[in-house]
Structure 1
């Protein structure tokens, strides 16, 4: 089998240069959607990598009150928990000019993500589709969203028609709720935001092969349905 095609690649020597350009581009796309369709939808990832991007976006003046924001995935913990992606979004993105954006979290009052999937899916039902922008991250094991290679639910995540699913990675803490592959690809634009030499090596490995169960990010990189731009900085 031939290797998958390379997506659009944007490389930067420094992360602050990447952040400045990507923040401006995303906010312009969101504003264009508001201007053309009256609203916009944005899905973001957690972790430490996107925090400077969130902070930069929060200072850009667009019609944030017309932007619906949610998460690509979330650990099944409360919003005050140290591992909560919602907490990061509230502390770093829903600030400054973006304070008025409409944020929807994925964790419900249910004890498990399996029990909460239906309610979380209902919460997202009003989001404009296709989603305008989906920002993905990637782990050192090639996972994206909460679609892990060590996860028994990986095949379900690749094949389900549902928007969300519960996942339980064996090599990462907490049960999780995640957008399915179909939901991720139901977007006008996907960005993969990564940094460092190690992540570039994982990306190169993903682009050199075809087995998405080995490196789940391949399922996003290999498709031709939705434009995907990779933003990578060396430092």
Structure 2
């Protein structure tokens, strides 16, 4: 497991934003369009603020969420809304976001449509993920419905998931899609998540879904 420790969260966010921008530039030099996977949650917000000001050809970047709650974009729990608010500013506003919410569709129907739309954009060029203290990443939660299918090598690109004790269904990129990213970064902060990360190493992904990605990911951590 490749873990980079930072002296503080400010240093982490600045260094991570630099690494992501370098990876995006490398991807744009390699092919016509780059696919950038981003998470929701509060942790990556400062990284998005820094990336938004980076000068690169954002018009050639497709931004795909790692996962989304099944809520419209004007809902306070929408990951898409958070990403638009924090990342789609300044130069980065020229990027294209692939939204997961599809009005008039059920989650499983939307997952099928999204799989067809996102598949041509794969493999992910750059992926940024978070992790919960329960060792979930994206919407791959311990105990989620069909988690075994989402972890399988032949999983579809996007799956609808129901998560215990969560009010909405979720859509998530599956483990093989995330694992096959050219550059995979995992950002965590705090002692509780660092301890969870250590527990996840070598664990059964059904119990610790993030374990399915740790061999490929660069982990960025600060207290």
TM-score bracket, shorter-length normalisation: over 0.9
Deviates more, 1:144-153 or 1:82-91: 144-153
Say whether the 8 Å CA contact 2:119–2:157 is kept in structure 1: no
Residue 231 of structure 1 is matched in structure 2 by 220
Partner of 2:138: 145
How many residues get paired? 222
Give the Cα–Cα distance (whole angstroms) in 2 for the partners of residues 231 and 110 of structure 1: 39
2:29 is equivalent to residue 40 of structure 1: no
| Separation in structure 1 between the aligned mates of residue 217 and residue 133 of structure 2, nearest angstrom | 19
Cα distance, 1:112 vs structure 2: 2.6
Aligned partner of 1:20 in structure 2 is: 14
Alignment TM-score, normalising by the size of structure 2: 0.95
- My pick for the range that moved more, 110-119 or 49-58, is 110-119
Structure 2 match to 1:174: 168
Deviation beyond 6 Å, 4+ runs, structure 1? none
1:161 deviates by 2.8
Is contact 2:179–2:212 with CA below 8 Å preserved after alignment? Answer: no
- 5+ residue gaps, structure 1, are 1-6
Q: Counterparts of 1:62-211 in structure 2 under 5 Å?
A: 62-127=56-121, 129-159=122-152, 160-207=154-201, 209-211=202-204
Superposition RMSD in Å: 1.3
**Normalized against structure 1, the TM-score is what?**
0.90
Shift of 1:210: 2.3
Shift of 1:166: 0.5
| Whole-angstrom distance in 2 between the partners of 1:172 and 1:199 | 20
Unaligned runs of 5+ in 2: none
- Three-state SS of the structure 2 residue aligned to 1:217 is helix
Q: Distance in 1 between matches of 2:125 and 2:220?
A: 17
Contact 1:54/1:93, CA 8 A, preserved across alignment: yes
In 1, Cα distance between equivalents of 2:160 and 2:13: 31
